[in-house]
Amino acid sequence: MFGIERFPEQPTKTPAHSFHQGVGGMSANAAVALARLGADVGFVGPMGEDAAAQVFRTHFQREGVDVSRLQVTPGQSSSISSIILDARGERMIFNHKGSALSAPSEFVPAWLDNVDFLLTDPRCPLWAAQALRLARQAGITSLLDGDVSPLQDLQQLVPLADWVAFSEPGLQGFHPGDVHQGLQAALDLGAALQVAVVTLGPRGLYWLRRGRSVQHLPAFRVAQVIDTLGAGDAFHAGLGLALAHGMPDREALRFGAATAALKCQRPHGILGAPSRHEVEALLAAQRF
């Protein structure tokens, strides 16, 4: 992760005023945020047979995330990203998807034993589809992170989840055009999906529960945006924890939005994720 003053208008050499190296990814970041919110959380994922494997383990162990389900895939590589962050907190990401995500070992059904809630993303669609099907069979509530992904992956995974929460670019990639129509298009893929959400940053979010009309939730007020990296993942973590505790839709979405808002005021990506006490304090301070 490189911090710069502003994005250049033309390709050029640009000095960075800060540098940070760490572990990221949608579900990986959400796992860290969940641990910081007080959840008992484990991360399931394939990784390459390379130096990154131990980096992953060390990172998760330091953050209180169970690593017993991390699986090294022989002969494959891990993913890596370069992230450019400007002085306004906006970021640009260049990602190389490692081969481990496309050639994972066998998913083990027992990994979902004693699980109350499943959060997954489309980066390893084979494992995500298996996990979502098993969760539905076991009656485990599931949430899919609908970030920018190949359309065929989203079309496969969306109907397998109970909830899907899109980023704005993710929903546009899934169904270009009107936000309301995009949410309805997600529900139209399968009768089992119950709620579709799209997050719009400072414009709040919209959500649609099957059989009801589209609802809007405004964003929490933020004193200063320092770093938006990991904000969406923090939102999914907060929403997932709230759903696991049985909160109604609006309250669960507010909890997720408050988690993301606090993260935006702190640097270093997901390492700026808040505690549950901090989220509850913001919820009490800003009532809407």
Taking residues 239-259, what's their average pLDDT? 98
Model pLDDT, residue 173: 97
- Whether residue 91 contacts residue 83, with contact meaning beta carbons closer than 8 Å, is answered with yes
Instruction: Assign domain 24-74+116-285 to its CATH architecture.
Output: 3-Layer(aba) Sandwich (3.40)
Model pLDDT, residue 214: 98
20 has a pLDDT exceeding 90:
no
209 has a pLDDT exceeding 90:
yes
Give the amino acid at 49: E
Confidence class of residue 285 from pLDDT cuts 50, 70 and 90?
Answer: very high
128 has a pLDDT exceeding 90:
yes
- Whether residue 216 contacts residue 204, with contact meaning beta carbons closer than 8 Å, is answered with yes
For residue 242, give both structure tokens. Answer: 């709230």
Write the Ramachandran bin of 38: left for phi over 0, alpha for psi from -120 to 50, otherwise beta.
Answer: left
Torsion of CA 100, 132, 139, 247, to 10 degrees: 100
User: Which sign does the torsion angle of CA 30, 42, 28, 55 carry?
Assistant: positive
Q: Is the pTM of this model over 0.75?
A: yes
288 has a pLDDT exceeding 90:
no
**Burial of 270 per CB tally in 10 Å (0-12, 13-18, 19+):** buried
What does the domain layout of the chain look like in residue ranges?
Answer: 24-74+116-285
